[in-house]
Structure 1
């Protein structure tokens, strides 16, 4: 193994820079050795008999501004000085969650004596055991890993002060080989989230200051076993403070593999990271275990993209991947750690070419798609806050199939806001917005405004299970829906709905006009073909899938039809009474109403009474006045609105 060293003199500024938490005791020990070696004399011969622990602890305490305790420290002279430290402690900052930031049970190393005079230090055979490190921010966002002036800078609000730059690495020692056993590193955020890394073994090896550095870790993250290997640039590059430090890493846990190839501008603090990342897991169970979430099913995931971490900002861009055979593109996934007392903030912009939600929402491998449901959960104090933009070319949910879906939603305290939902279904375009807000007993209130345009009547009646209908064309609809339920499906079925349905370009079978008008000419000449519909307007209200369409008007060149319909979507049943308006039909018309009722697929047709009370009920002009504002404005634009009540 080479003893090559960097001959660049150590600067006083470099010695004043913050020491890495894993090397603070070694720095203090070799500093004391340098003073004794320079004094010469007989003390050098008996140096290994002297316990320097107290002396080093006092110097380290003064240098770091924190209390340092050293149980014992012994140095054996030679070309390579042997240093042994036992039971060392570095105090945490005031307000920390524990008394110690660092504890080391044992540290042994060999230091090349000449490197103490010419620097940076060259060390080998470093053995460390029983290590504990707590890295945290206090609730006031003061980081415990900064010392002296840097500690003061770290306590200032990030909003008005830029993040501290990388530490001066010019005097960082070269460690030829390091072995760590029995370690624990805990990272705790300002608002209490804790991430625990257990280190079973850690090894670091290099053949010299200008040779690549190899790192291997065997441990666990949040009690989930993890192994990691990395090849990093030489220590000579590490000492170049302004030069990004190259890292090529692979981490594994169960069937999960994560790779990273890039650089870090502040590698000692794992900050300023930028590079390519890949993620692959056939089950995603290790990822869920690390996140502390239940793994209810296996979800194969693959992802690659550009990863960045700078201060409080974490992000992935230019991403591509696959989630359970659903291809996705990640334009942006960003996490910003929250300030003092504030939650984190996640921003996401993700696109899928196809997405089958049934595969994610069904916890069993074999389940009827019609049973798929989404719980309506609203957190009064969510962490993180979320702003998400999601687009899907082909979307499957329950037994429904949608296309060109776009969703812009946010998670805020007590509210899930859907700023925009757009999708195509059965040739129609749907646009909606609304909110989900917390309610009593674990339920949530859903309020939504929905606009549907270009819905094809033929496709709709097939989807609803209706038999053939005598009207053709496309309808538009404006709707307001409200429900308080625990799941999405329950909200859809129980919603209170107020809607206006409109058609401005369609056609009606002439037989309908002849039938409802009871035109005597039909005895000699039955009408054929379709007559253009100049306008159609219906006011629909329902609760729990049970409601009515009243009033309902269809105006054609052959006459105007007025109707009243009741329906029950749960039973697929309806009762429709319709008749012609006498003022719009010919002199041979008797204007006898017709009633159609029964199941959607096979209704019965028979004559109906047409009393004054029935005509008044079908007029119902006051029903337009109680519509929600947006729905009423939509109805006012329809030409048939003027016919209501006549």
Structure 2
């Protein structure tokens, strides 16, 4: 609810009901002139009294009173001036107001009115660019843009003298809330009707109108006016609102119902397409997204929240632990906090509008606002997440949106038995792009599952590897950033096994002429330094230490072409006396590479060492590499 709706008793009350009361009292004190009262235009008198009371110009085109047991009041062309610097000259305009007031209720109270008819209503509630609110009057206006105390602390929400309105009709109304930044939220009231059979009977409210040009209807059953006048008693509300296929219900109470504050109760929302919701929010609706949600809603001052929520978004079950909006103060953005969990979530359905195949190209734009409103702190967990042809499990994400940056404070997920943990930041860059920087730790990657996912043919290495890497890219979308990222990584294995024939092949051991080795030899350590740009890179240096010998290798690769070139050989000091230590080269496509002997020049051996590359690694990656026993072997 915008700040402008927190006017305490409200402009309508002071201008309209206050005017009715003043006129009625004047008429009651008229004595012999009572029967001639309807001939007198009291508009100027009431306008002057209201101007003095509000500290702002009030105009009344005409005001006539017809005496009787029910005093008839008829007002036209009522205007309340806006504050200096406001968008327009008027804050309130009322074309016509007619009502009947029970005369005895003026003496004994509370006021009782009936047949209230109001038409051609305009209300502009706004803050000026200097953050001055236009809904404060008299001494309150002198406080400027300071935070207004809660009505409970000031007594301004005293409801004990509110009138009972038996029936009210409003036609052709418009209420606009305008922020200090110039954003407008427009409510159009085609018809509004309120009816009750008495002060102790339920009140029925119906509204037919629109919000931001989206048609909306609302019906509500409210507690009697007698309960409304009990200031310290929460006021019961049972409401249903509809817009297209969107239905929202609320059943609860409000401690300050006149200002729509202190609200607490159960809320539900249901929309097979979500189009009306997107239209109301001013967002494009490019596809149908069925949504169902229920939870506990609260509004207290500047804080709006939903807790204990459950629902379904396009066949994706969700649980809402917390969704909270805190309205920003002077010159400050709003702040959203969210904690949402999904049992499953298919991003392809949201980003492409349909279920996708392995050849799909779902993508996420990297959009970063330099002055976001609202700011965001969000936690998201998903038991099963689908993105393109990939399926992840146990996904946990903590993200914050601040000026010029989206910080991923924590990202964790499981994929093919491996665990990934990452953190990073997306920062605004030139020409609509964003810079992505991320630190990633991957543990427990099964080599066999990985080579199948990459399309490799069988490889002689078994076990699980760990990896620590740093990735940076400047692009407009997530997929483009992944494809073009600069990557520096260390790959480590502290267990596993290598086929013995690899050692024999790499060492060119003459003993293999008489006895070909079979089986596996344990790997005591494996360490490689990997760097790439745009999917093209190298693994250099690379060491595998086993009980049968130590293998040194270097590799080049192109993930885009699914091509690699690997040269490996044994270190002479670790192999047998019959080993020639002739290197082997394996190159070609991932699925069908060619194997042949390779030269082992002095330059090649120097390249294999490359100990200085360990010193150029990012700090976190280097610390990870230093924990591996092969770290000291590289360069020997």
TM over 0.5: yes
Kindly tell me: are residues 30 and 438 of structure 1, through their superposed partners in 2, closer, same or farther at Cα, counting changes over 3 Å? closer
Measured on the aligned residues, the alpha-carbon RMSD in Å equals 1.9
| CA deviation after TM superposition for structure 1 residue 276, in Å | 0.9
Matched, 1:431 2:418: no
**Alpha-carbon distance in 2 for matches of 1:298, 1:193:** 27
Which residue, out of 300, 312, 321, partners 1:310?
300
Alignment check: 8 A CA contact 2:348 2:354 kept = no
SS at match of 1:550: strand
**Alpha-carbon distance in 2 for matches of 1:622, 1:305:** 58
**Alpha-carbon distance in 1 for matches of 2:312, 2:144:** 40
Matched, 1:216 2:212: no
Structure-1 residue corresponding to 2:4: none
Which residue, out of 212, 223, 229, partners 1:239?
229
Alignment check: 8 A CA contact 1:594 1:608 kept = yes
SS at match of 2:632: helix
Q: Select between 152-161 and 138-147 the one with higher mean Cα deviation.
A: 152-161
Which residue, out of 581, 588, 596, partners 2:586?
596
| CA deviation after TM superposition for structure 1 residue 20, in Å | 2.8
Matched, 1:156 2:146: yes
**Alpha-carbon distance in 1 for matches of 2:154, 2:307:** 25
Alignment check: 8 A CA contact 1:509 1:531 kept = yes
Matched, 1:41 2:57: no
Matched, 1:503 2:493: yes
| CA deviation after TM superposition for structure 1 residue 168, in Å | 1.1
Alignment check: 8 A CA contact 1:576 1:595 kept = yes
Which residue, out of 433, 437, 441, partners 1:451?
441
Where do 1:40-439 residues align within 5 Å?
Answer: 40-151=30-141, 155-157=145-147, 167-363=157-353, 370-439=360-429
**Alpha-carbon distance in 1 for matches of 2:513, 2:154:** 94
SS at match of 1:303: strand
SS at match of 1:203: strand
Q: Select between 191-200 and 475-484 the one with higher mean Cα deviation.
A: 191-200
Alignment check: 8 A CA contact 2:468 2:490 kept = yes
**Alpha-carbon distance in 2 for matches of 1:548, 1:161:** 68
Matched, 1:636 2:626: yes
**Alpha-carbon distance in 2 for matches of 1:515, 1:165:** 91
Deviation per CA, 1:498-529: give whole Å up to 9, x if none.
Answer: 00000001111111111111112212221121
Structure-1 residue corresponding to 2:479: 489
TM-score by length of 1: 0.94
Structure-1 residue corresponding to 2:3: none
SS at match of 2:360: helix
Q: Select between 251-260 and 237-246 the one with higher mean Cα deviation.
A: 237-246
SS at match of 2:159: coil
Structure-2 residue corresponding to 1:542: 532
Deviation per CA, 1:355-389: give whole Å up to 9, x if none.
Answer: 11111111567787631000111111111111111
Structure-2 residue corresponding to 1:9: none
Q: Select between 128-137 and 451-460 the one with higher mean Cα deviation.
A: 128-137
Which residue, out of 545, 548, 570, partners 1:555?
545
Which residue, out of 573, 592, 597, partners 1:607?
597
Kindly tell me: are residues 632 and 593 of structure 1, through their superposed partners in 2, closer, same or farther at Cα, counting changes over 3 Å? same
Alignment check: 8 A CA contact 2:94 2:121 kept = yes
| CA deviation after TM superposition for structure 1 residue 18, in Å | 5.8
Kindly tell me: are residues 219 and 490 of structure 1, through their superposed partners in 2, closer, same or farther at Cα, counting changes over 3 Å? same
Structure-2 residue corresponding to 1:7: none
Structure 1 segments unaligned to the other structure (5+ residues) = 1-16
| CA deviation after TM superposition for structure 1 residue 100, in Å | 1.6
| CA deviation after TM superposition for structure 1 residue 150, in Å | 4.7
Alignment check: 8 A CA contact 2:351 2:363 kept = yes
**Alpha-carbon distance in 2 for matches of 1:571, 1:544:** 12
Q: Select between 339-348 and 32-41 the one with higher mean Cα deviation.
A: 32-41
Alignment check: 8 A CA contact 2:437 2:473 kept = yes
**Alpha-carbon distance in 2 for matches of 1:165, 1:257:** 36
Matched, 1:626 2:616: yes
Q: How many residues align?
A: 630
| CA deviation after TM superposition for structure 1 residue 97, in Å | 2.3
